[in-house]
Amino acid sequence: MSWLGSRRDCSITRCAWHCPDLPWVLADAVLIEQVLENLLENAVKYTPPGTPITLSAQARERELEVTVADRGPGLTPGDEKRVFEKFYRGRAEGSQSGVGLGLTICRAIVEAHGGRIWTERNPEGGAVFRFALPLEGTPPSAMADDGAASS
């Protein structure tokens, strides 16, 4: 596990990225990167070209909440929980590839970190996927030049 801190150099093609000053989160960076990769990959796969995908994060009372919102076909009502089941693929899959494990993996990773993940319909059309990780522990006071935490 390592401390994930906020970044200010955020630019992603086709995505709006909101990077406010965020608290540190104790997490396995490789696994959380996998969650973000899966969510963003799905958003890109199902969102028509030229429409925005928004990645944002904000601190809540005792957790950091990360959101990926798209303007794709969205979710069928009632699919909000089912999309996290193994091998489940929604109605809007069409010719899109995949076996229905990406969101199941996301759920397992987030829950292994003591967090939670959920989805909802985007009022502007599309889907919103959110996950929250607990804010706990004491972050390092400074980062050494080699990237290792120091006190």
- Amino acid identity of residue 35, one-letter, is V
Strand partners, 143: 149
Residue 2 has pLDDT above 50, yes or no: no
pLDDT of 142: 43
pLDDT digits (tens, 9 = 90+) for 64-92: 999 999 998 888 887 777 777 776 666 55
Could you tell me which residues come within 8 angstroms of residue 27 by beta carbon, excluding any fewer than 6 positions away?
1, 2, 4, 113, 133
pTM over 0.85: no
pLDDT digits (tens, 9 = 90+) for 18-69: 555 788 888 888 999 999 999 999 888 888 888 888 888 988 889 999 999 9
What is the β-pairing status of strands 142-143 and 25-27?
unpaired
Give percent of the chain above pLDDT 70. Answer: 68
- 124 band by pLDDT with thresholds 50, 70 and 90: confident
Residue 15 has pLDDT above 70, yes or no: no
How many Å apart are CA 70 and CA 81, to the nearest integer? 18
**CB-neighbour burial class of residue 139 (10 A; exposed 0-12, middle 13-18, buried 19+):** middle
The beta strand positions in the chain, using DSSP E, are 2-4, 15-18, 25-27, 53-59, 63-69, 116-121, 127-134, 142-143, 149-150
Structural domains present in the chain: 2-137 (3.30.565.10)
**Which of 81 and 135 is assigned the larger pLDDT?**
135
